[in-house]
Structure 1
Amino acid sequence: MTEFFSNEVIAIIILAACVVLFITNWINTCVAAALGCLAFTLTGICSFNEAFSGFSSNVVILIFSMLIVGDAMAETGADWLIGNFAARISKNNERLFIFAGALVGGLMSMWMANTAVVACFLPILASVSRASPNMTMKNMTMSITFGAMYGGTCTLVGSTSQVAAQGVMYELTGIEFKMFDFMPVGAIMFAAFLVWEQLIGYRMGEKIWGDRQHEGIRYDKLTGKLDVDSFHANHPMHDNKARKRPVFAAIFVVMIIFFVFEWLPVGVTALSAAMLCFITGCADPKETIRRLDWHCVFFLGCCMGIAAGIEATDLGEMMGRLITSLLGPNPEPRLFFAIVVTTVMFTSNFLANATTTVIFCPIVIATCQSYGFNIMPFCLGVVYAANLACATPFAHAQVTMTLVAGYRFSDYVKFNLPVQILMLVIMIIFVPVFFPLM
Structure 2
Amino acid sequence: MTQDQLMIFMLLGTMLILFSWGKIRYDVISLGALCISALIGLVPVQGMFRGFGHNAVITVAAVLVISAGLQNSGFVDFLVAKIIRYGKTLRGQTFILTFSVAIFSAFMNNVGALSLFLPAALRISRMNKYPASRMLMPLAAASLLGGMMTLVGSPPNIIISSFREASIGTGYRMFDFFPIGAPLTVAGILFTVLIGYRLIPERKATATKEDLFEIKDYTTMVEITAGSNLIGQSLKELGQKYFSEVQVIAYVRDKEKYAYVSPFLVLQEGDRLILQGSTKQVQDFLRLSKLPLSGSAPVETADFSGEGVIVSEVVVTDTSNLIHRTAKDMALRSNFNVNLLGVARAGVRLAESPNRISIQSGDVLLLQGTQGSIQEIVRDLGALPLMERGIEMKPKSTVALSIGLFVAAIVLVTAEVLPADLSFTIAALLMVLTGVISLRKAYEAIELPILILLGSLIPVSEALETTGAAHLIASKIVLLSATVPNWGILLILMAITMMLTNIINNAAAALLMAPIAISMATGLGLNVDAFLICVFVGATSAFMTPIGHQSYTLIMGPAGLQFRDYWKLGLPLSLLVMAVTLGVVMILYPV
Global fold match (TM > 0.5): yes
Structure 2: distance between partners of 1:343 and 1:313: 21
Q: Quote the offset at 1:304 in angstroms.
A: 3.8
Tell me, yes or no, if structure 1 residue 338 matches structure 2 residue 488: yes
Q: Quote the offset at 1:257 in angstroms.
A: 2.6
The counterpart of 1:82, out of the listed 72, 76, 79, is: 79
Further displaced range: 119-128 or 274-283 = 119-128
The counterpart of 1:231, out of the listed 373, 390, 393, is: 390
Report the residue type matching 2:524 in the other structure. Answer: V
Change (3 A) 1:131 1:311: farther
The counterpart of 1:54, out of the listed 43, 51, 58, is: 51
Instruction: Decide whether the 8 Å contact of 2:57 with 2:455 is kept in 1.
Output: yes
Report the residue type matching 2:523 in the other structure. Answer: I
Q: What is residue 407 of structure 2 aligned with on the other side? A: 253
Q: Which has the higher contact order (CA 8 A, sep 6+)?
A: 1
Report the residue type matching 1:145 in the other structure. Answer: L
Name the SS of the counterpart of 1:88 in structure 2. coil
Deviation string, structure 1 residues 131-190 (Cα, Å, up to 9, x no partner):
7655999864553333453799xxxxx9977x959x97xxxxxxxxxxx9x97x998766
Report the residue type matching 1:358 in the other structure. Answer: I
Q: Quote the offset at 1:35 in angstroms.
A: 0.8
Name the SS of the counterpart of 1:82 in structure 2. helix
Q: Quote the offset at 1:72 in angstroms.
A: 2.6
Q: Quote the offset at 1:383 in angstroms.
A: 5.0
**C-alpha RMSD of matched pairs (Å):** 5.1
Instruction: Decide whether the 8 Å contact of 1:151 with 1:187 is kept in 2.
Output: no
Alignment of 1:107-256 (within 5 A): 117-119=106-108, 124-129=113-118, 133-134=122-123, 140=139, 143-149=142-148, 192-198=187-193, 199-200=195-196, 214-216=316-318, 220=379, 224-225=385-386, 227=388, 231=390, 235=392, 244-256=398-410
Structure 1: distance between partners of 2:86 and 2:465: 45
Structure 1: distance between partners of 2:53 and 2:146: 27
Alignment of 1:266-277 (within 5 A): 266-277=420-431
Report the residue type matching 1:275 in the other structure. Answer: L
Instruction: Decide whether the 8 Å contact of 1:51 with 1:308 is kept in 2.
Output: no
Deviation string, structure 1 residues 202-252 (Cα, Å, up to 9, x no partner):
965998x9999542378647852454xx626xx3x5xx7676323223223
Deviation string, structure 1 residues 328-355 (Cα, Å, up to 9, x no partner):
xxx5454x65245314652685344764
Q: Quote the offset at 1:38 in angstroms.
A: 1.3
Q: Quote the offset at 1:81 in angstroms.
A: 0.9
Report the residue type matching 1:313 in the other structure. Answer: T
Percent identity over the alignment is 14
Structure 2: distance between partners of 1:388 and 1:15: 22
Change (3 A) 1:285 1:188: closer
Name the SS of the counterpart of 2:405 in structure 1. helix
The counterpart of 1:317, out of the listed 471, 483, 493, is: 471
Instruction: Provide structure 2 residue ranges, at least 5 long, that are not aligned to the other structure.
Output: 125-134, 152-156, 169-175, 207-312, 321-377, 501-508, 543-547, 556-562
Name the SS of the counterpart of 1:68 in structure 2. helix
Name the SS of the counterpart of 1:389 in structure 2. helix
Deviation string, structure 1 residues 57-99 (Cα, Å, up to 9, x no partner):
2232222223322333343322321221233346797741454
Tell me, yes or no, if structure 1 residue 363 matches structure 2 residue 507: no
Q: Quote the offset at 1:280 in angstroms.
A: 0.6
The counterpart of 2:538, out of the listed 389, 406, 412, is: 389
Count of aligned pairs between the two proteins:
374
Structure 2: distance between partners of 1:283 and 1:137: 30
Instruction: Provide structure 1 residue ranges, at least 5 long, that are not aligned to the other structure.
Output: 106-115, 153-157, 169-179, 366-374, 394-399
Structure 2: distance between partners of 1:431 and 1:74: 35
Structure 2: distance between partners of 1:43 and 1:299: 20
Instruction: Decide whether the 8 Å contact of 2:52 with 2:456 is kept in 1.
Output: yes
Change (3 A) 1:137 1:123: farther
Q: What is residue 28 of structure 1 aligned with on the other side? A: 25
The counterpart of 1:283, out of the listed 413, 437, 442, is: 437
Structure 1: distance between partners of 2:197 and 2:400: 38
Report the residue type matching 1:19 in the other structure. Answer: L
Instruction: Decide whether the 8 Å contact of 2:102 with 2:144 is kept in 1.
Output: no
Instruction: Decide whether the 8 Å contact of 2:11 with 2:33 is kept in 1.
Output: yes
Task: Flag the structure with higher helix content.
Answer: 1
Further displaced range: 426-435 or 139-148 = 426-435
Report the residue type matching 2:438 in the other structure. Answer: D
Tell me, yes or no, if structure 1 residue 301 matches structure 2 residue 455: yes
- Whichever of the two has the greater Rg, that structure is 2
Structure 2: distance between partners of 1:215 and 1:202: 27
Structure 2: distance between partners of 1:46 and 1:62: 24
Instruction: Decide whether the 8 Å contact of 2:38 with 2:48 is kept in 1.
Output: yes
Structure 1: distance between partners of 2:69 and 2:396: 11
Q: Quote the offset at 1:266 in angstroms.
A: 1.7
Structure 2: distance between partners of 1:291 and 1:435: 37
Instruction: Decide whether the 8 Å contact of 1:138 with 1:213 is kept in 2.
Output: no
Name the SS of the counterpart of 1:388 in structure 2. helix
The counterpart of 2:34, out of the listed 33, 37, 46, is: 37
Name the SS of the counterpart of 1:319 in structure 2. helix
Structure 2: distance between partners of 1:54 and 1:407: 29
Q: What is residue 397 of structure 1 aligned with on the other side? A: none
Name the SS of the counterpart of 2:385 in structure 1. coil
Report the residue type matching 1:266 in the other structure. Answer: A
Report the residue type matching 1:251 in the other structure. Answer: L
Report the residue type matching 1:144 in the other structure. Answer: S
Task: Flag the structure with higher strand content.
Answer: 2
Report the residue type matching 1:294 in the other structure. Answer: L
Further displaced range: 253-262 or 38-47 = 253-262
Change (3 A) 1:206 1:39: farther
Instruction: Decide whether the 8 Å contact of 1:103 with 1:147 is kept in 2.
Output: yes
Structure 2: distance between partners of 1:49 and 1:252: 37
Instruction: Decide whether the 8 Å contact of 1:130 with 1:225 is kept in 2.
Output: yes
Q: What is residue 173 of structure 1 aligned with on the other side? A: none
Structure 2: distance between partners of 1:332 and 1:325: 9
Q: What is the TM-score when the length of structure 1 is the normalising length? A: 0.64
